[in-house]
Every structure is written in structure tokens, then in C-alpha cells.
Amino acid sequence: MNPSGLFEVWVFLGRSPLLWLGLTLLAYLGALALYRRSGYLPFLIPVLTATSFTIAVLWLTDTPYPTYFEGAKFVHFLIGPATVALAVPLYRQWALLRRIWRPVLLALLVGSLTAMVSAWGIAWALGGSRETWMSLMPKSATMPIAMALAEQAGGLPSLAAVAVAVTGIAGAIMARPLLNWAGIREPAVRGFAVGLSAHAIGTARALQVHETAGAFSALAMALNGVATALLMPLLLAVMRAFGG
């Protein structure tokens, strides 16, 4: 087949939704196999390697994101059912949750505020603009909540989305060694810490490690989304009152 014929075949395939859906699934399966063969090296978590591979293919083929999303939107649709399904392992831990709900709420309050204040403090110390502060503050919430909060506060939703993704990947990579170093062994505590700081990406990693850790990570992810949405406007009001 001549080069022009190959180009025509690629153009046809590039417009097919099945191509990008298939690429997404194959990229994840390949990344998962690599992750397992590596002995579960943190820097080879599937969400990082599969995403990097997919971005590279889109860049090399000069494929716009809307074209890719048109084919991969079925995977996006599955996010909803997958999120609801996280209630199953949490229900199995209901007896434990009833016993420790007070420290859970305290950890939620402290963790949510720490995530926002630390993001603001680092951005301020490095000379970031107010627009940057507002974009980074909700980084530990899930992406839809973070983007909406950043936009309402005068930040950039696109920057907030990047911050959420980087936070999740960094949390999934760093959480285990940090928790081991701190001597924290209880699965519920480990999971709650991961979900509170690294949202959905951290929760996916916690579910692979331990059912209890995954359940409490899912709980933390959900609660922190609500807490961030409620606390961020209050925190900004306090900052304005003190001239921040």
C-alpha cells in the first residue's frame, strides 16, 4: 500500500470511536501488566504510565482531545457507577466506622484545611499570583469540585485540573513509604489519609492494597469533596478579613 493509502486508512481510523476506546483499554492493560511485573514499583502506577502513553500517541498523531474523548467517553461514563460501587466496601466497614466517627471527622477537618492552607502558602512563598493560589487551593478535592471552586474563586479551572491530577499521582506514589516511615499500620487510618490527600487516584491504589484501606479512602475522598466546597469560601473570607 502506498503512503497516501496508509494516510487515508489512518484518517478513517482516527475518526472511529472504537479506535480511541480500544487505545485507552489497551494502554491501561499494558500499564497494569508492567506495574505487576515490576513488583508494584510506585513510579509505574497504571494511571501515570497509561496516561503518559495515551498523551504521547495523541501528540504524535496530532489528534485533538475532543476527537479522542468522543471515542473514550464510555470510559468516562463508567466513572459514575464505579464511584457508587465504592459504597460496597464502605458498608462492610460500617461497624468500625460507627466506633471511630469522631476522630474521622476531626481528621477530615484538619486534613482538608491543611491541604488548602499548604497549597496557598507554597504558591504565595514562590511568588504565585492570586489566580494561582485560587487554582491550587482545592487540589485535594476531586476534579469536578476543584475546577468549580477554582473558577468561582477567580482561579483557572484548567490549572486546578492539572493540580488535582498531579496531587493524586504524587499521593499514590508517596503515601505508602511516608506512612511506613511514620509507623502507621492501621488500614483504616492509612486509607483515610490517602483518600483525604490523593482523592480518586489514591483511592484506586488503596483498593489494590487492602479492602479496609480502600473503603476508608473512598469515604475520605467523598467527605473531603464536601468539606473543601464548604470550607474554602470560609477560609477565603477569613483571609480577606486579615488582608490576604
pLDDT tens profile 161-206: 888 888 988 888 888 888 889 888 888 889 899 989 888 888 888 8
Positive/negative CA dihedral, 106, 109, 110, 111: positive
Q: Determine the Cα–Cα distance for residues 68 and 18; give it in Å rounded to an integer.
A: 10
Whether residue 208 contacts residue 190, with contact meaning beta carbons closer than 8 Å, is answered with no
First to last CA, the chain: 65
- Examine the pLDDT at 124 and tell me if it is beyond 50: yes
Q: Determine the Cα–Cα distance for residues 70 and 225; give it in Å rounded to an integer.
A: 27
- Examine the pLDDT at 77 and tell me if it is beyond 80: no
The average pLDDT across 91-104 equals 81
Q: How far is CA 140 from CA 13, 65, 199, 202, in A?
A: 37, 25, 6, 10
φ/ψ of 168, rounded to 5, equals -65, -45
Triad 56, 199, 76: Cα angle to 5°: 50
Domain boundary assignment for the chain: 3-77, 85-241
pLDDT tens profile 22-46: 888 888 889 888 888 887 777 788 8
Non-local (6+) Cβ contacts of 159 within 8 A are 132, 135, 136, 150
| pLDDT value of position 116 | 92
| pLDDT value of position 6 | 44
| pLDDT value of position 66 | 80
pLDDT tens profile 202-244: 888 887 778 888 888 888 888 888 899 899 999 888 887 776 5
Q: Determine the Cα–Cα distance for residues 238 and 201; give it in Å rounded to an integer.
A: 31
Non-local (6+) Cβ contacts of 244 within 8 A are 238
Confidence (pTM): 0.74
195 three-state secondary structure = helix
**CB-side neighbour CA atoms (13 Å) of 205:** 32
| pLDDT value of position 110 | 93
